[in-house]
């Protein structure tokens, strides 16, 4: 959170505070957090996720956490959402016939 004069008072790691709201009980903590949220610019939008949610979700005292992105993809599959290639067609784009046709949305080393 940020203090009244714009100084950083405390950096909080999301992975250390799942199910732990007690950090907010400290005097002035909510104000500091709101000041921090209001004064920091958001990062540029991209397709990457912080490892706080891809490696450390609900980690607690364990060595490993869950991967929120993978959980959401699986949740979509569980609910019967079509794969990406089908959605391309729904959006008026051509379906990819092979991996090379996905170069516009994937890193070359991933193909």
pLDDT, average across residues 49-64: 88
Q: How many angstroms separate the CA atoms of 84 and 47, rounded? A: 15
pLDDT of residue 11: 80
Quick count: other Cβ atoms within 10 Å of Cβ 79?
7
pTM of the predicted model as reported, rounded to 2 decimal places? 0.67
Residue 29 reports pLDDT greater than 90: no
SS3 46: coil
Tokens representing residue 90 in the block: 């729904």
State what percent of residues in the chain have pLDDT above 70.
Answer: 99
């Amino acid at each position: 959170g940020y203090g009244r004069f714009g100084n950083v008072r405390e950096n909080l790691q999301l992975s250390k505070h799942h199910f732990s709201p007690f950090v907010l009980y400290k005097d002035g903590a909510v104000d500091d957090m709101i000041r921090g949220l209001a004064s920091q610019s958001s990062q540029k939008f991209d397709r990457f996720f912080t490892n706080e949610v891809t490696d450390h979700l609900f980690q607690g005292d364990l060595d490993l956490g869950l991967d929120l992105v993978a959980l959401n993809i699986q949740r979509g599959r569980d609910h019967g959402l079509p794969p990406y290639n089908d959605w391309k067609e729904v959006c008026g784009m051509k379906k990819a016939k092979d991996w090379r046709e996905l170069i516009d949305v994937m890193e070359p080393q991933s193909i």
